[in-house]
Structure 1
C-alpha cells in the first residue's frame, strides 16, 4: 500500500481531532507518540486501534510521508511513529495504595504522578474534579508509558468512595509530618500547588499530613512523589500492585 501523502487524509484528520479533549471524550480514544511509548504499550498488552509510521522507517504501521506525519504530530520535533488506543478506566479507585488527585490542571503534573505511582507500586490513581485529562498528549508523554500500566479511575470527590485510610496532604502547620511506611491500605490525597485541597475534603479525611519543607509549597507532582516514597519506604515496590491484582 502506498504511503499517505496528504495532510487532509481523513485518517489523519482523526488524529488531529484526538489532540483535543472534546475529540477524545467523544471517541473514547487517544494518541501516543514515539517509539518508546508505543513499545511500553506493546509490553503492557495494549493493542492499537491504528498505528502509523514514517515512510521508509521500517517500523510497523500504515506508512505516512515523514513531513505529513510531522504535520499531525503534537511533538515539537515530530515523530517516526504514533498509534491510537482505546481509553481504559477502572470502575472504581483500587487499593491497597491509591493516589487521589484534586484540581491538578497541569497535564504534565498528572502524567508525572502516574510515572511515580508506577515506580512506587500504587494500585491506582483516581482523578477528581478539575484534573487534566490523563490521556491528553502532554500527560501521556510525561507518564513515560505509565499510563499503560497504572489503573485510572474517575472520582467525584467523595472521600467515602476512596479505599483504605484517607490521608490528605496539607501544607498547614497543624498537620503532622507524613511518616511511613504506612503499613495499611490507604489513599493519599493531593491538591493543586496553590489552591491545595478544599476544606470540606480535608475535614472528611481520616487525617491530614504534611511534607516538612523550608519553602512555601511544592509542585503537586513532586509532593505526590515524595509522599509515595514515604508511604512505601522500606517495602518492595511491587507489593501494593500485586496485592491489588
Structure 2
C-alpha cells in the first residue's frame, strides 16, 4: 500500500491534475469510476483508500474539497467528428461548460462533441466532474476549422437566422452539426460565414449560458417529429 505522498505515482497524478502533462487524465469518485466501467474504460491506475493507497496519501492528491475514496487514471481518447448529430464548441473556455455540454450530449444521443480553437480541455478535472461521467460515453473530437465538421453545419447565433425549431424540423433526415460559441463573444463572423445555415433560439432575455444553449439545441435537433 502507498503511504507516502512523495510516491512517484502520486507525483505523476498531481501533474495530471494540474494538466501539466497530457495524454492521460484523472477521474475522482466512485460514481465517475462506475461510469467509466460501464462504458468499458479500464483505468491505467486505480487507487482506493485503504486498498492501494492510504486515506491520508490519497487525500493529499485529491482535487476535491471533501477528498475522495477512489481515483482512476485513464488514457485520453480522441475521435473523428461524426453524425448524425454533432455539437461543436468554439471558444468556450469554461471547462464546466464543456463538461455540461458532454452531459447534455449523452442525454440527447449526440454522436460527438467537437472542440474548436480556444475551447477548454475536456479532460481537465473540472470538465470531467461537470460531465458526470459523460466523458466516458460521448466521443470527443478536435477540429481546427468548420470544414472538418460533418453534415449540415448550423451556426447558433443569438441574432441571426431562423428559429432553430423551424430549421430542425427539416434537418432531421440528414447529419447536422450545431456550432456554439462563448456566451459573451458568440461565434466569430468567419465561423458563422463558414457554416451552411444560421439559427437562433428565441428567448426573452439577452442571452443564454453557452452550455444551456448547446443543450437546448441538441434537444431540438434530436426530437422525434410528431406523427
TM-score (norm 1): 0.88
What displacement does 1:162 show? 0.8
Backbone CA RMSD of aligned residues: 1.1
Alignment of 1:87 with 2:76, yes or no, is: yes
In 1, distance between residues paired with 2:118 and 2:20? 15
| 1:84-135 deviation per Cα after TM superposition (whole angstroms, max 9, x unaligned) | 0000001x21111111000110000000000100111111110010111100
Q: Which residue of 2 aligns with 1:139?
A: 127
TM-score (norm 2): 0.94
Q: How many residues align?
A: 221
Which segment is superposed worse, 190-199 or 13-22? 13-22
Q: Which residue of 1 aligns with 2:26?
A: 31
What displacement does 1:233 show? 1.5
1:1-245 residue pairs with structure 2 within 5 A?
Answer: 3-24=1-22, 28-55=23-50, 63-90=52-79, 92-156=80-144, 158-172=145-159, 174-179=160-165, 180-181=168-169, 182-183=171-172, 184-234=174-224
In 1, distance between residues paired with 2:55 and 2:102? 31
* Runs of at least 5 residues in structure 1 that lack an aligned partner in the other structure: 56-61, 236-245
* Runs of at least 5 residues in structure 2 that lack an aligned partner in the other structure: none
Is the 1:168–1:209 contact (alpha carbons within 8 Å) kept by the matching residues of 2? Answer: yes
| 1:193-222 deviation per Cα after TM superposition (whole angstroms, max 9, x unaligned) | 001100011011111001111111111000
In 2, distance between residues paired with 1:170 and 1:22? 34
What displacement does 1:234 show? 2.1
Is the 1:21–1:133 contact (alpha carbons within 8 Å) kept by the matching residues of 2? Answer: no
